[in-house]
Amino acid sequence: LNTSTGALSGSVTITGMTANMAHIHEGEAGVNGGVLLGLTDGTDGMWSVPANTTLTTEQMDVMADGGLYTNFHSDAFPSGEIRGQITLGFD
């Protein structure tokens, strides 16, 4: 996350399941929320933030407060099989 411009980039690699969709959602740990953006399916379980994704100041604040999570969907669990809260590695 570039906190000056809001540009967001990155990827997540998952193993042990076959996801058919992946998203970043808004929601605190343990709370389901709406889809913020879809992730792009790559190869070997790697999902990426789409090119040229930019977050608003409000979305960056939510992210900094731990209010965004990734959710990976499968045929067996169409509403989401695994999720992980997004944390930033800086203050």
Q: What is the pLDDT of residues 7-28, one digit of tens each?
A: 999 999 999 999 999 999 999 9
Backbone angles phi, psi at 87, to 5 degrees: -125, 145
Cβ partners under 8 Å of residue 73, min gap 6: 19, 20, 21, 22, 23, 79, 80, 81
Mean local confidence (pLDDT), 84-89:
90
Decide if pLDDT at 91 tops 80: no
Q: What is the distance between the alpha carbons of residues 77 and 56, in angstroms, rounded to a whole number?
A: 31
Q: What is the distance between the alpha carbons of residues 56 and 14, in angstroms, rounded to a whole number?
A: 27
Cβ atoms 53, 37 nearer than 8 A: yes
